[in-house]
């Protein structure tokens, strides 16, 4: 008798979780629940969010099956950078399933044009373009309930003094906040490294992003700290995180070098995650990275890596 796809995913989830999930430690607070049904798997302490397709060897390509597998493995969030590009029906289908199983969707990409000089300019055509984008983001938020929208302010202008560019970015962000804030959507600015991946971008560091958010001075303008990018740009991860904490609303993660799962590079993710946890962070940590092995075994290794790094002392 043929099993349904749902039965297959359920069995794969249960079998994978029993093998992959490491014992959770925190004295008497938690117990090792890695035996039995997927409902008994200990959720991760933090809301690590796999991207759709990260576990395609276990869960296939269907987004609903991916949500089911990730939930059964202990994850309580997911993210989709391309959520806005999907048909509205698919957006709603994903959001409804995420809500049904009690998970959360991380930030979607609202504006990230790496080759365009935009936010740094004070021109009407740029303002009109940004206003239209913000309105699209509000509509996506209304359909999906995803409350963070990622913004990359674009390239810097070699012909304009950086201080004038900073002032223009601040003014343009205030205008954007006027559009998204009444709806309840928060913009999260992502500084990206210019040494390896994105040369020529205006926003590249946490202190820089922090100063801009303070100048914009709106609750709807915050930072998404990409730990991979900031390890390359400036290091000093935990002190910078702590100094900018009041303006950070979300995280991306990935190890360096390689931009794969934690434990494959130089970042001590157990300490980084512990620091985030100790701030009582309730948001999402998007797993914006690859796998060191794009195989079924590689996916198992990834889950073990997160179990290991999530197993910090409280």
Instruction: Catalytic residue, from 104, 190, 261, 299: name it.
Output: 190
Tell me, yes or no, if 190 is annotated catalytic: yes
How far is 24 from 28, CA to CA, in rounded Å?
11
- Return the number of other C-beta atoms located less than 10 Å from residue 237's C-beta: 19
Name the nearest CA neighbour of 263 among 300, 311, 308: 308
Contact between residue 11 and residue 19 where contact means Cβ atoms under 8 Å apart:
no
Helices 5-20/63-72 angle, 10° precision: 30
Contact 65, 59 (CB under 8 A): yes
Cis link prior to 257 (omega < 30° from 0)? yes
- d(CA 147, CA 120) in angstroms, rounded, equals 25
Residues 224, 189 contacting (CB under 8 angstroms): yes
What's the distance, CA 175 to chain centroid? 25
288: annotated active-site residue: yes
Distance CA 77, CA 24 (A): 19
Active-site position among 97, 181, 288, 299: 288
As annotated, the active-site residues are: 190, 288
């Amino acid at each position: 008798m043929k099993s349904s796809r749902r039965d297959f995913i359920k069995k794969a989830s249960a079998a994978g979780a029993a093998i992959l999930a490491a014992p959770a430690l925190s004295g008497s607070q938690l117990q090792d629940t890695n035996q039995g049904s997927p409902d008994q798997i200990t959720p991760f302490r933090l809301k690590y969010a796999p991207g759709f397709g990260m576990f395609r060897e276990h869960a296939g390509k269907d987004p609903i099956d991916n949500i089911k597998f990730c939930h059964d493995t202990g994850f309580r969030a997911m993210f989709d950078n391309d959520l806005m590009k999907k048909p509205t029906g698919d957006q709603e289908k994903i959001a409804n399933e995420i809500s049904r199983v009690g998970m959360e969707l991380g930030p979607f990409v609202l504006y990230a044009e790496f080759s365009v000089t935009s936010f740094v300019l004070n021109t009407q055509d740029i303002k009109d373009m940004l206003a239209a984008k913000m309105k699209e983001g509000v509509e996506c938020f209304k359909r999906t309930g995803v409350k963070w929208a990622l913004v990359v302010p674009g390239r810097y202008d070699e012909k304009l003094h950086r201080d004038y560019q900073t002032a223009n970015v601040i003014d343009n962000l205030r205008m954007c906040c006027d559009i998204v804030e009444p709806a309840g959507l928060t913009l999260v600015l992502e500084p990206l490294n210019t040494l390896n991946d994105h040369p020529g971008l205006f926003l590249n560091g946490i202190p820089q992003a922090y100063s801009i958010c303070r100048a914009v001075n709106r609750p709807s303008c915050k930072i998404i700290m990409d730990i991979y990018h900031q390890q390359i740009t400036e290091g000093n991860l935990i002190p910078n995180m702590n100094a900018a904490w009041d303006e950070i609303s979300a995280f991306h993660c990935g190890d360096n070098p390689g931009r794969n799962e934690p434990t494959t590079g130089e970042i001590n993710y157990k300490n980084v995650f512990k620091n985030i946890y100790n701030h009582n962070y309730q948001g999402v940590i998007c797993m914006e990275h690859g796998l060191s092995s794009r195989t079924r075994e590689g996916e198992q290794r990834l889950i073990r890596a997160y179990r290991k790094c999530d197993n910090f002392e409280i």
